[in-house]
């Protein structure tokens, strides 16, 4: 443009088309930076149905949009997660449709946490082998805790989230806070001290559950919860302990040692305290059931009382009826005793008669039998035989009876028993026998 009196005219200004400007910027970036390596924390990671991945890389000073196409994403050796610190290589350019700066990522690896991750895996394997992660030692949370202990940082957003949740769900449950750093080199020791102080409160019966909470972050930010001493302290908890560390995708050694892992600090508070309205509703329902049961029982008792009163009648009338019944029973008893006594007397007399007749007959039979036996004995008496001229010979020396000629030897002394006495004899040889 020319002006009067200006000896040096200004050069003509170039007007860029938008697309041309984007391409020019992209060419400048290509010439100045590419290929480029960038280190940052993943944020907003997503994987499309096409297999392409989209996310941002950020740090405290800025962020850049990233795209990782399916071919490069298929070569990943791990699953990227929000909050992870990574190093990527790629080409910086401009996404012309939006005019955004975009980094097309060609490769990705964990940054600054390779050694940490290996250390995490070694400690996890050691504690798992010792049984610190066993499901058998995990305890259920109490339904109605008398108090809840919280171990976290005073300045942590997690503390605000947990306290807000507990005030909303269970304002009647007291909360005991044990502050401790949740990040940095001093954090593990402070967390152990905070838990030990809560264990002392639990021993007094003041709290029934403990929450160990912290918000999300990178593996370096959460590294305090991968401490071995903290893990062993968690296992020694006298009451159930809930770990709510990081986001849902974050896992630490503390999560494996705790009785229960919550995906977030707020979820840990929700698990530890049931809503007050739930218990109020339950109590109301129980009150109605108890009231109905009480009324039903009173109705049944009243009905039984009415039935008993109708059956009993007036006491005086019932007493008279009982007296009359007793008199009739007594009269029947006296009559029965009189008739039964007479019959018993008659029966006794007849039995006595039969007994006497039986004894007399038995005595007569016994006498006749004795007579017959006596007669048989007399017939067997040897003296009667001797009186008929017979004699009983016995050996004079041995007294044995001699019943055969063969038993008598010449010269043998024998004794003959006769009817009126005994005679000693000696056997003589028979005719023709040698002398």
**β-pair type (241-245, 85-95):** unpaired
Q: pLDDT tens-digit profile of 204-230?
A: 999 999 999 998 877 788 899 999 999
Q: Which domains does the chain have, with CATH numbers?
A: 18-111 (2.40.50.140), 150-277 (3.40.50), 386-426 (no CATH)
**Amino acid 2: pLDDT:** 47
Edge-to-edge strand list for the sheet holding 413-418: 392-395, 413-418, 421-426
Residue numbers of the chain with a pLDDT score lower than 70: 1-12, 18-19, 22, 26-29, 31-33, 96-97, 99, 112-115, 276-282, 311-318, 341, 344, 431-435
**Amino acid 36: pLDDT:** 82
**Amino acid 162: pLDDT:** 93
Name the token pair of 91.
């080409």
Q: pLDDT tens-digit profile of 99-146?
A: 678 888 999 888 765 567 778 888 999 999 999 999 999 999 998 899
**Amino acid 74: pLDDT:** 87
**Amino acid 285: pLDDT:** 77
**Amino acid 275: pLDDT:** 75
Q: CA angle at residue 108 from 29 to 224, to 5 degrees? A: 120
Do 232 and 132 form a contact (C-beta atoms < 8 A)? Answer: yes
pTM: 0.46
């Amino acid at each position: 443009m020319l002006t009067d009196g200006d000896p040096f005219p200004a050069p003509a200004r170039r007007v860029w088309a938008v697309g041309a400007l984007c391409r020019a910027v992209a060419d400048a970036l290509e010439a100045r930076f590419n290929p480029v390596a960038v280190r940052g924390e993943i944020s907003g990671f997503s994987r499309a149905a096409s297999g392409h991945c989209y996310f941002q890389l950020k740090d405290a000073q800025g962020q850049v949009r990233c795209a990782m196409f399916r071919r490069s994403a298929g070569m990943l050796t791990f699953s990227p997660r929000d909050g992870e610190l990574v190093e990527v290589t790629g080409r910086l350019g401009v996404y012309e449709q939006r005019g955004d700066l975009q980094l097309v990522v060609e490769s990705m690896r964990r940054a600054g946490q390779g050694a940490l991750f290996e250390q995490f895996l070694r400690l996890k394997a050691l504690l798992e082998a010792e049984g610190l992660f066993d499901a058998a030692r995990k305890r259920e949370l109490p339904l109605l805790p008398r108090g809840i202990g919280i171990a976290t940082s005073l300045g942590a957003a997690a503390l605000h989230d947990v306290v807000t949740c507990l005030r909303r769900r269970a304002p009647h449950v007291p909360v005991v806070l044990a502050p401790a750093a949740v990040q940095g080199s001093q954090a593990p020791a402070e967390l152990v001290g905070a838990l030990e102080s809560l264990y002392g409160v639990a021993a007094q019966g003041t709290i029934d559950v403990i929450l160990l909470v912290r918000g999300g972050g990178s593996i370096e930010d959460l590294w305090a919860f991968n401490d071995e001493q903290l893990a062993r302290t968690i296992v020694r908890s006298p009451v159930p302990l809930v770990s709510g560390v990081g986001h849902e995708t974050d896992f630490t050694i503390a999560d494996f040692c705790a009785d229960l892992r919550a995906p977030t600090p707020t979820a840990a508070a929700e698990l530890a305290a049931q809503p007050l309205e739930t218990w109020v509703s339950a109590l109301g329902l129980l009150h109605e059931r108890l009231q109905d049961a009480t009324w039903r029982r009173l109705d049944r008792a009243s009905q039984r009382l009415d039935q008993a009163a109708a059956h009993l009648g007036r006491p005086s009338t019932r007493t008279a009826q009982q007296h009359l019944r007793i008199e009739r029973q007594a009269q029947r008893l006296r009559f029965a005793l009189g008739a039964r006594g007479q019959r018993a007397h008659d029966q006794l007399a007849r039995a006595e008669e039969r007994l006497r007749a039986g004894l007399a007959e038995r005595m007569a039979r016994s006498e006749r039998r004795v007579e017959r036996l006596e007669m048989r004995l007399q017939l067997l008496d040897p003296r009667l035989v001797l009186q008929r001229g017979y004699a009983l010979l016995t050996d004079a020396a041995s007294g044995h009876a001699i019943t055969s000629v063969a038993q008598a030897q010449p010269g043998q002394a024998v004794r003959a028993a006769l009817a009126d006495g005994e005679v000693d004899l000696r056997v003589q040889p028979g005719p023709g026998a040698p002398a």
